[in-house]
Chain A
Amino acid sequence: MSTETVKGKVYVENRQLVLPGELLAEGDVQAQSPYIYKVGEKYYSAIIGLASVEDNKLNIIPLEGFYLPKVGDLVIGLIIDVGITNWIVDIRAPYRAIMNASDALNRQFNPIQDDLRKYFDVGDYVLAKISLFDRVHNPVLTIKDRGLGKIVHGRIVEIQVSKVPRVIGKKRTMINMLMNETGCDIVVAQNGRIWINCSNKELEDILILALKKIEAEAHTTGLTDRTRNFIREEKARRGL
């Protein structure tokens, strides 16, 4: 089963399910995942995932997991506290994010005069980007970019973070199909929150059911076609 490369030996096949502690490869291979660790010359998996093997490049796509912030990620945050000069935002990560008022307002602000609750209050959703994050600092959010800011209409759907790539699909096939079939606007954030904006309630319901279906069947094949059929059937059933 092993594939010999120039110097290294890979013991897993592409798309094979790997478990923690599973021997993946030996010798000269390139491990491109934080979830691959090395003992001596041997590479092991640290999580449950699907192996991705390309020549002697080795990667693991996690099947379980949580959101770990990365600078530049698009996230949908939930305001959980309002401070004097900043907001505390839940982004479904091990760390709570901070959004500074100076970053969110497009002008000088005076903490004595301005009440930040006027702009974002507890319970508001915000579409933001992570501008800063490292081992010693909590993530810092910014909304200084096109399309970012407070979410005032539509709905938020939460899915498992490990299923996010599946909702987007290879070359955005899945998300484009969802948008074409339902006519809704969809924004998928990296932290597993999805913002949907539909023209009517029925389509919104169908889209939410479709997203939940993708989440539940993320590891199966032919999902895009099955989801397309599912949406069409639901539309026909509801007379749309």
Chain B
Amino acid sequence: MGKKADIKLIREDGLRHDGRKPDELRPIKMEVGVLNNANGSALVEFGKTKVLAAVYGPRELHPRHMSLPDRAVIRCRYHMAPFSTEERKSPAPSRREIELSKVIREALEPVIFSELYPRATIDIFIEVLQADGGTRTTGITAASLALADAGIPIRDLVAGVAVGKVDGVLVLDIDQVEDEFGEADMPVAMMPTLGKITLLQLNGVLTPEEFKEALRLAEKGIKEIYRLQREALRKRYVEVSLEE
């Protein structure tokens, strides 16, 4: 890793440091049902970022006094594996991870029909295996696939992506380097069918026009990610067809 001067974020030919166009996503891989012991699970890769999500529940909540009489409690843990970063990360939950857990939970809460399961809990575990920027949006993407895989009723899949501004150019799906040396970072998560935003954060400075353009760019990326999510779910049932 070097200083800003060492890395040209936008090259002379207008492409980004890794050769992507400004509005291009990283190569995305998704796999559903990767864990046997969880009710639902998914592994999602955005370029070098790899995130594993597991869902348990609805199940009984302990301690009982935390349960809600009218809906299920949704608990979410975002965690980075010690080996996920270049320098070993302490496995203890950091301030950042605790906040991200909350933010991700709030991005997923509006899609889950938690009112169907009063007094119960739904546990979501997000484990970052390899971090290269955009882990929270990758985590949300993986968690919504895991929820669907667990058979928990959800309004829509949630897809997320981060838009950033580097060297004055708005770019889609920023990675670690672009996040570190760029001017702005804006993670967005949406329920694409219903056109509703469930997560919107902005770190850095964008003009109102840039913000609008960034949101449009994020929406474009999310549509593509959503298509891949649906493909990943469908792939498990290729042989589904007429029966007796």
Contact surface of A with B, Cβ cutoff 8 Å: 15, 17, 19-23, 34-35, 37, 39, 44, 46-48, 50, 62-66, 94-96, 135-136, 162, 169-170, 173, 219-224
> In the complex, what distance in Å separates the CA atom of A15 from the CA atom of B155?
21
Query: What residues on B are CB-neighbors of A17 within 8 Å?
Result: 234, 237, 240
Quick check: A64 and B60 within 8 Å, CB to CB? no
Q: A48: shortest Cβ distance to chain B, in Å? A: 6
Stretch in contact with the other chain, from B11-19, B79-87, B89-97, B144-152 = B144-152
Query: What residues on B are CB-neighbors of A169 within 8 Å?
Result: 244
Q: Which of A19, A23, A44 contacts B148 (CB 8 A)?
A: A19
> In the complex, what distance in Å separates the CA atom of A21 from the CA atom of B57?
20
Quick check: B239 and A219 within 8 Å, CB to CB? yes
Q: List 24 A-B contacts (CB under 8 A).
A: A19-B230, A19-B233, A19-B234, A20-B148, A20-B154, A20-B155, A21-B192, A21-B193, A34-B153, A44-B193, A47-B154, A48-B233, A63-B240, A64-B40, A65-B150, A66-B58, A169-B244, A173-B244, A219-B239, A219-B240, A220-B241, A221-B239, A221-B244, A222-B244
Quick check: A48 and B151 within 8 Å, CB to CB? yes
> In the complex, what distance in Å separates the CA atom of A173 from the CA atom of B244?
10
Cβ of B116 within 8 Å of any chain A Cβ, yes or no, is: yes
> In the complex, what distance in Å separates the CA atom of A28 from the CA atom of B81?
50
Cβ of B117 within 8 Å of any chain A Cβ, yes or no, is: yes
Q: Which of A23, A35, A44, A95 contacts B119 (CB 8 A)?
A: A95
Cβ of B59 within 8 Å of any chain A Cβ, yes or no, is: yes
Quick check: A64 and B151 within 8 Å, CB to CB? yes
Interface of B is mostly: loop
> In the complex, what distance in Å separates the CA atom of A37 from the CA atom of B113?
10
> In the complex, what distance in Å separates the CA atom of A37 from the CA atom of B154?
10
Interface string of B101-123 (1 = CB under 8 A from A): 00000000000010011111000
Cβ of B209 within 8 Å of any chain A Cβ, yes or no, is: no
- How many residues of chain B get a CB closer than 8 Å to chain A's CBs? 38
Quick check: B151 and A44 within 8 Å, CB to CB? no
Query: What residues on B are CB-neighbors of A221 within 8 Å?
Result: 239, 241-244
> In the complex, what distance in Å separates the CA atom of A16 from the CA atom of B35?
26
Cβ of B204 within 8 Å of any chain A Cβ, yes or no, is: no
Cβ of B178 within 8 Å of any chain A Cβ, yes or no, is: no
Quick check: A47 and B194 within 8 Å, CB to CB? no
- Contact A21:B157 (CB < 8 A) given known A15-B243, A34-B116, A46-B113: yes
Beyond known contacts A44-B155, A63-B151: 17 more, CB 8 A cutoff: A15-B241, A15-B243, A20-B148, A20-B157, A21-B191, A21-B194, A46-B113, A46-B155, A48-B151, A63-B237, A94-B57, A220-B239, A220-B241, A220-B243, A221-B242, A221-B244, A222-B244
Quick check: B153 and A94 within 8 Å, CB to CB? no
For chain B residues 137-163, which have a beta carbon within 8 Å of chain A?
Answer: 148-157
Query: What residues on A are CB-neighbors of B118 within 8 Å?
Result: 135-136
Query: What residues on A are CB-neighbors of B59 within 8 Å?
Result: 94
Query: What residues on A are CB-neighbors of B244 within 8 Å?
Result: 169-170, 173, 221-222, 224
Q: B169: shortest Cβ distance to chain A, in Å? A: 32
Cβ of B69 within 8 Å of any chain A Cβ, yes or no, is: yes
Interface string of B63-74 (1 = CB under 8 A from A): 000000100100
Quick check: B149 and A37 within 8 Å, CB to CB? no
Query: What residues on A are CB-neighbors of B234 within 8 Å?
Result: 17, 19
Query: What residues on B are CB-neighbors of A46 within 8 Å?
Result: 113, 153-155
Q: Which of A23, A64, A220 contacts B193 (CB 8 A)?
A: A23
Quick check: A21 and B39 within 8 Å, CB to CB? no
Quick check: B153 and A47 within 8 Å, CB to CB? yes
